[in-house]
Amino acid sequence: GEDVEQSLFLSVREGDSSVINCTYTDSSSTYLYWYKQEPGAGLQLLTYIFSNMDMKQDQRLTVLLNKKDKHLSLRIADTQTGDSAIYFCAGCKYIFGTGTRLKVLA
Amino acid sequence: DVKVTQSSRYLVKRTGEKVFLECVQDMDHENMFWYRQDPGLGLRLIYFSYDVKMKEKGDIPEGYSVSREKKERFSLILESASTNQTSMYLCASSFDQGLEQYFGPGTRLTVT
């Protein structure tokens, strides 16, 4: 069946860049999404990329899509303590990754 | 501003009780979803609805049912709660299938 995989944890120092990776099996999604979940809250859309794009930049966020390898990544530049959260990648068919818990150390 | 609300943030129920979780969205979205979130497993789709009175099973529908009598409201029902249904339940809605979803704050259900 369809699957989306992410590593469970990532720890970075404040000011460094964070890279969160995701691999997926279903290549039919028109869009691929990154959601952020802060403690005690639901998910909020962070950014997305259209499947015919390789890269999208949105302020501190850069999304890279490698369709050949079915690999999606989210890079957060100048990571801040407020970026500490769980990050989920998702395609169009309601399949979410396991989520990556990002911890930012001051 | 887009809003999805869930009836309770925290709920404690006993094994065997019937449990209702309510979700309301104010965006006139066609599609609504119920997920459960467990550590290390991410979000798993329980049921979704693409129109009033219409529903589709997700990946883990066993032990759950749903009701969508009005467009803005989607209810998740646990007919006879069991301890393995202790989880965080998230409701979401979207304008169209495949588009971004808007999530409620979640209901943390504990079944004792």
Residue range A7-21, pLDDT digits in tens: 899 999 999 999 999
Three-state secondary-structure class, residue B85: helix
User: Of all residues in chain A, what percent carry a pLDDT higher than 90?
Assistant: 67
Cα–Cα distances (Å) from A47 to A31, A55, A105, in that order, read: 10, 12, 24
B42·A96 Cβ contact <8 A: yes
Q: Which of A6, A22, A31, A16 is nearest to A76 (CA)?
A: A16
Residue range A80-93: mean pLDDT, rounded: 91
A43·B100 Cβ contact <8 A: no
For residue A3, what pLDDT is reported?
83
Structure tokens at A59: 């302020």
B100·A98 Cβ contact <8 A: no
Question: Residue B23: how many CA atoms within 13 Å on its side-chain side?
Answer: 33
For residue A59, what pLDDT is reported?
95
Residue A31: pLDDT band by 50, 70, 90 thresholds? confident
| Residue from B33, B36, B38, B100 to probe the interface with A (highest A Cβ count within 10 Å) | B100
Q: Does A22 touch chain B (CB under 8 A)?
A: no
Residue A95: pLDDT band by 50, 70, 90 thresholds? confident
A92·B97 Cβ contact <8 A: yes
Whether B107 contacts B11, CB under 8 Å = yes
For residue B108, what pLDDT is reported?
96
Neighboring chain A residues of B101 at a CB cutoff of 8 Å: 43, 45
Q: Pairing between strand B10-13 and B73-78?
A: unpaired
Residue range A92-103: mean pLDDT, rounded: 88
Question: Can you list the residues of chain B whose pLDDT is less than 50?
Answer: none
- CA A50 to centroid of chain Cα atoms: 14
Q: Where are the beta strands (DSSP E) in chain B?
A: 4-6, 10-13, 19-25, 31-38, 42-51, 54-57, 65-70, 73-78, 87-94, 102-103, 107-111
Residue A36: pLDDT band by 50, 70, 90 thresholds? very high
Neighboring chain B residues of A35 at a CB cutoff of 8 Å: 103
For residue A83, what pLDDT is reported?
97
CA distance B81 to chain A (A): 23
For residue A91, what pLDDT is reported?
82
Whether B27 contacts B95, CB under 8 Å = yes
Least CB–CB distance from B42: residue in A45, A92, A98: A98
Region class of B9: left (phi > 0), else alpha (psi between -120 and 50), else beta? alpha
pLDDT score of A89 more than 80: yes
CA distance B97 to chain A (A): 7
Residue A1: pLDDT band by 50, 70, 90 thresholds? low
A31·B92 Cβ contact <8 A: no
Structure tokens at A92: 């169009």
What are B91's strand-pairing partners? B34
